[in-house]
Every structure is written in structure tokens, then in C-alpha cells.
Amino acid sequence: MLLSNLINPNEGHKLHGSNADISGISADSREVEKGFLFAAVPGTQQDGRKYIGDAVAKGAVAVLAPDGTDPSSIPPRISLVTAPDVRIALSCMAARFYPRQPETIAAVTGTSGKTSIAQFTRELWTHNGRNAASVGTLGLVTRKEKKYGSLTTPDSVTLHIILDTAAREGVSHLVMEASSHGLDLHRLDCVRVKIGAFTNLSRDHLDYHDGMESYFAAKTRLFSEVMRQGGVAVLNADSPEYGKLADICRARGHSIISYGKSAGDIRLLRHRVETDSQALQFEIFGKKYEARLRVAGLFQVWNSMCALGIVIGGGEDAGLSVAGIESLTGVPGRLERIGVSARGGVVFVDYAHKPGALENVLNAMREHVSACPGARLHVLFGCGGNRDKGKRPQMGAIAQRLADVVIVTDDNPRREEPAAIRKDILAGCSPSPNLREIGDRAEAIRVAIEGLEKNDVLIIAGKGHEIGQIVGDKVLPFDDAEVARQVLGGE
């Protein structure tokens, strides 16, 4: 494709040099091939312009760089495109190079629930006969295959390749997770999002964002900038941020579908925990519906309501969509039931690694434990190294307040001293015989399972579906679910 077909002067793009024929795009000089355009993205750690020489040596014929880049600094015969914001330009150029996108695209943002909502939405669309896919923490999932990914929101070039390929293979409906990083770094720009959903906001990623206002502002970009005017916004009516988001959406001409307990277009009227499911009654635009959700946790009820809002907002029949709730499955590592201990305790693995998520999980399982007199709720968790330290004592306090037995262990210590991370967590706790510190995660899981009595519930929190533990700069094999199964099998 000619370079002139990728750039847009109305977006501030300027071409210096010849109209090169482009065979591919990459922002990673190591992945550049002959005929590629190399995007020299300025980063927080280093300037991508340092790698222009490497990209040219590998065959790049054009370079995208920030305004102010001197054309004479580019090797001879190499075309230069300058733009006010290289990240935005890269996303839009990728969208032109990979032009196909599924007809209906939904994006979900918020601190918690994105992965479950993406899966539930894909499953509801599939139940309704749509060729659907999801993109996010679990990778790309279609009715034919699953490809694991490393980011909640892939980089813009990878994302547009995914969208183009999915559309070419007949996917008509696609839902994706929209992380605050992805939104802030313009990875979703030029994605034709018709439906945007917001779940909640709690402390997270403050190692990246300047504070909660900055974090929330990144989330709002989905509605204020990424979605085209006149889209559909699915908003949590119980969230304190609802009013601000609703104002943003109205200003953009988006229609709003709200969901919640006390108010909303999709409202939960009744909830009853059963042995293997949750019996629900909804009111959707004034009409009542009954449903049975075979996934544990009250927060999964909210996630299913958000998914309903997305599919209904995309034009699906409410009754048909509610009927699909019974077929919803849990996401691996999200309140995943692992097994029962020798004395009758039930073990779950969950990805909760943020204060709000941990609180939601423990509150949800407290209801199940309360149904069995004498049963206790146990939780085992840690916190990641080189991440927001402020959430550590918060999570310690939440765990001790909501669980009967707490074990603090290591998560992904990365380059921090594990004992220092555990100390930060324990700073939020009070001394108690039901509070233990066990650094070795495998040993902690063994001790936790062996301490279960009949009808007790253990939540192994923090890593969920992950199959590695980051220690220093190495990723060591570690799977919470597999370790727990080995302990249960050896009891």
C-alpha cells in the first residue's frame, strides 16, 4: 500500500520524501521486515528514534516520527512521516493498512470484571446465533480457536491485525477489554467501537497513572474520544462515577443503558444462592425475566447484567439473551472451583489482585459460607512487586475484615524483596491467631488446604489463570490451580 494512502493531512501528518510502497507496519525495530514502515514511538523510558537505524538495516523504507524530527536525520532514500502524536497516527495508519473490522464491536473498561464480561458477551452472542469473538486477558477467543495474548489490550498494530483477520474469517460481533493503559496509549484509536461499557473504579495501576483522577480520565476516553458519536454506553448505575460518565456520554450523543440493583434499565430484583447456581430475577426496560447463573459470586451477577446490556444495546432480543445466561461459563482463574479437600472444604482460585476485586470476591463467597453454620472463609494472597505499594495494606485490611482465616504469601515479587512486600500487606492487619505469613506460595497453598474443615471455603487469590511466577527477571513455572490439585490429590 502506498504511503500516501496511510497518512491523512487533516490529522497533521506530513510526508517528507518519496511515496514509498509499504508492506507492513511495526513499532518494534526487531520485528521490521523488508518494505515496512517503522513507527518511532517516544516512550517513558526511551525514544523510538534511537532505533531508526536498526529498523532501516532490517528493511524499513519509511519512518513515522514526532513533529520536529529533522528529515536530514533520516537515512537517505527513506521516507519520513511526521505527526503531532505518533501513537494516534500509528493506530489510524494501522487501521487503514488493515481495514476490515467486525460489524459490531464492543469495548469494556473499568477496574474489575472486564474479562468475565467479555467472555459472557461472546457467549451470549454465540447463543443468539452470532459469529462472535473476544479479545483481552485470555487472548483472542473465537468459536474455532483460542490464541493466548500477553496484554489486556494489544498494541495498536496487533489489535488491527486481529480485527482484520477476524472480520475476514466471518466474525460479525467482537468484544474487547479496554485497559486504562490501552486507552491512555491510544491503542484503541480508530477502532470502530459501537458499544462501550463501564463496570467500576477502584484503586489500581497507580504505578502508571498519577492518581485516581488520571486513572479515571484514561477510562473516560472510551466514551469521549474512542467511540464515534451516537454509540451505545452501558453504565453501572450503582457506580459513584455514573453521573460523570452519563454526562460525557450525553454530550457525545450516545444512548445509555444502565444496570444496577436500586436503579437502571437492567435491574436485579431478586437473587438467591443455590447449591450449584444463582437464581435471578431481572427487570429489563420494565419487563420481568427469570434466569439461572451457574457461576459463583454475586459480582458475576453484575458482570452478566453488563453483558446483557452490551448484547441488547447491539440489537439483540432481551428474552433470547436472558435465556442464554444459564449457559454462561466461568473464566479460568475467576472463582474457578478446583476441588474439595479430604475434610470437605471447597477450594477456589481467583485472579483478584486489587483491593476492590478482593473485596468483591470475599463478599460474594461470604454469602455461600453463611449458608452453612460453622463454616469459615479462608483467603490466601500476596501482592506484586514493583507495583502500587499503597494497595498492599488496603488488601491486608480487606482480607482480615472479610475472611475468617488469612494467609499472606508471595505473588509475583519481581525485583522487590518478597519479605518487604509481605510486611507492607501485614501493616494493614491486626495480630491474630488466624493470620499467618508463609512466603513460599506452594507451601502456603498446602497449609491452607490442610487447614480446611467441612463446608469451609478457600480463595487462592491474585494469580488466577497465570502459569508463572515472576521472581527477579525470571518467570518460574507456577500454576495456583495445578498446585492446589496436587495437594488435594495427595491428601
Write out the DSSP string of 78-101: -EEEEES-HHHHHHHHHHHHS---
Q: Is 336:304 a contact under the CB 8 Å cutoff? A: no
Q: Mean pLDDT throughout 172-177?
A: 97
pLDDT of residue 152: 64
Q: Is 419:439 a contact under the CB 8 Å cutoff? A: yes
For 113-138, the pLDDT digits (tens) are 899 999 999 999 999 999 999 999 88
pLDDT of residue 148: 58
H or E element at residue 106: strand 104-109
For 178-209, the pLDDT digits (tens) are 998 889 899 999 999 999 999 998 755 555 54
For 299-346, the pLDDT digits (tens) are 899 999 999 999 999 999 999 999 999 999 888 888 888 999 999 999
State CA 462 to chain mean position distance: 14
pLDDT of residue 251: 96
Could you tell me what percentage of the chain is helix, strand and coil, using 3-state DSSP and rounding each to the nearest 5?
35, 25, 40
Q: Is 147:138 a contact under the CB 8 Å cutoff? A: no
Q: Mean pLDDT throughout 79-108?
A: 96
Q: Mean pLDDT throughout 142-155?
A: 73
State CA 206 to chain mean position distance: 16
Q: Give 249's pLDDT tier (boundaries 50, 70, 90).
A: very high
CATH number of 99-327: 3.40.1190.10
Give the amino acid at 194.
K
- Greater confidence (276 vs 418) lies with 418
pLDDT of residue 263: 82
DSSP bridge partners of 378: 405, 458
* Rounded distance between C-alpha atoms, residue 193 and residue 186, angstroms: 13
pLDDT of residue 204: 55
Domain boundaries, the chain: 3-96, 99-327, 336-490
CA angle 453, 464, 326 (to 5 degrees): 80
150 pLDDT higher than 70: no
Range 3-96 has CATH code 3.30.420.40: no
Same fold, 99-327 and 336-490: no
Give me the phi and psi of 324, to 5 degrees please: -80, -10
Q: Is 400:407 a contact under the CB 8 Å cutoff? A: no
* Rounded distance between C-alpha atoms, residue 73 and residue 277, angstroms: 64
- C-alpha cell read off for 304: 452478566
What percent of the chain lies above the pLDDT cut of 90?
80
pLDDT of residue 214: 83
pLDDT of residue 149: 61
109 pLDDT higher than 60: yes
Mean predicted lDDT score pLDDT of the chain: 93
372 pLDDT higher than 60: yes
Q: Mean pLDDT throughout 60-73?
A: 94
H or E element at residue 63: strand 62-66
What SS3 state is found at 268?
A: strand
State CA 117 to chain mean position distance: 9
For 373-390, the pLDDT digits (tens) are 899 999 999 999 999 999
Q: Give 27's pLDDT tier (boundaries 50, 70, 90).
A: very high
* Rounded distance between C-alpha atoms, residue 159 and residue 176, angstroms: 10
Q: Mean pLDDT throughout 395-424?
A: 98
pLDDT of residue 448: 98
CATH architecture of 336-490: Alpha-Beta Complex (3.90)
Q: Give 491's pLDDT tier (boundaries 50, 70, 90).
A: confident
CA angle 193, 199, 204 (to 5 degrees): 105
Q: Give 111's pLDDT tier (boundaries 50, 70, 90).
A: confident
Other beta carbons within 10 Å of 234: 32
Q: Mean pLDDT throughout 390-419?
A: 97
Q: Mean pLDDT throughout 239-265?
A: 94
Q: Is 471:357 a contact under the CB 8 Å cutoff? A: no
What percent of the chain lies above the pLDDT cut of 70?
97
